[in-house]
A and B are shown apart, each in its own frame.
Chain A
Amino acid sequence: ETGVTQTPRHLVMGMTNKKSLKCEQHLGHNAMYWYKQSAKKPLELMFVYSLEERVENNSVPSRFSPECPNSSHLFLHLHTLQPEDSALYLCASSQGGGGSNQETQYFGPGTRLLVL
């Protein structure tokens, strides 16, 4: 098991629901990420939080809202999702700091989301 945990592991929600995904890292890292993984597609970076930057992928719809209260916790708030948002949502963390040897990302187990 990695040092990155995610809850819940599975989530089924209707298009009018509001839910949140939680990620916690126990590695002492300074950067955290949300990815979306759909079948037959590369991992898609959604959001980055680090000491150096907060990056939002402009192509991510506003129905996804990230929150990073501290360097160990990351949330993804979901509201009025669409069926095409069904995917595996992965959280990752890295040491950060900009050095090339600090960029290795460690992933959590993911949340399998199904939007009905």
Chain B
Amino acid sequence: EDQVTQSPEALRLQEGESSSLNCSYTVSGLRGLFWYRQDPGKGPEFLFTLYSAGEEKEKERLKATLTKKESFLHITAPKPEDSATYLCAVSGGETSGSRLTFGEGTQLTVNP
């Protein structure tokens, strides 16, 4: 059974204080790892898809990396508007089609 574990559950940072969020996964035959951002009361917003170990992608202050067991979402010099819940998901394993397995998310708060 595919599993995704995100840590920490919640993270508070001061503006400009860089940090990383972790997503550990267990899946046989990873097809893709996905990062989303979700603001309260809204749907998840797609950020990145990573397909193979060693791959990295960047978008503004965010950088996602992937190894064979985990992914990190690095946030450099965060701003208050980066406050949100960040979700990680994987596709792969024995499931067919485009089904994703999600983690519980990391709630990030950036204080000014």
Measured CB to CB, the residues of A under 8 A from B are 2, 4, 6, 31, 33, 40-43, 45, 48, 50, 52-53, 55, 88, 90, 92, 94, 96, 98, 100-110, 112
Contacts and interface: CB of A to CB of B under 8 A. Distances in A.
B102 interface: yes
Contact of A100 (B4, B31, B100, B102): B31
Nearest to A30: B98
B22 to A, nearest CB: 16
Nearest to A51: B97
Nearest to A41: B104
A4 B5 CA distance: 27
A103 B103 contact: no
Contacts of A31: 97-98
A45 B96 CA distance: 14
**Most chain A Cβ neighbours within 10 Å, of B43, B51, B87, B104:** B43
A35 B60 CA distance: 29
B2 to A, nearest CB: 11
Interface of B: 4, 31-32, 34, 36, 41-46, 49, 51, 87, 89, 91, 96-105
Contacts, number: 76
**Most chain B Cβ neighbours within 10 Å, of A6, A31, A104:** A104
Contacts of A2: 43, 45
Contacts of B99: 45, 48, 55
B104 A52 contact: no
B97 A55 contact: yes
A53 B100 contact: no
Contact of A102 (B42, B98, B103): B98
A1 to B, nearest CB: 10
B97 A100 contact: no
**Most chain A Cβ neighbours within 10 Å, of B91, B97, B98:** B98
19 contacts: A2-B45, A40-B104, A41-B104, A43-B44, A45-B99, A48-B97, A50-B97, A50-B98, A52-B96, A53-B97, A55-B97, A96-B98, A98-B97, A103-B98, A103-B100, A105-B98, A105-B100, A106-B46, A107-B43
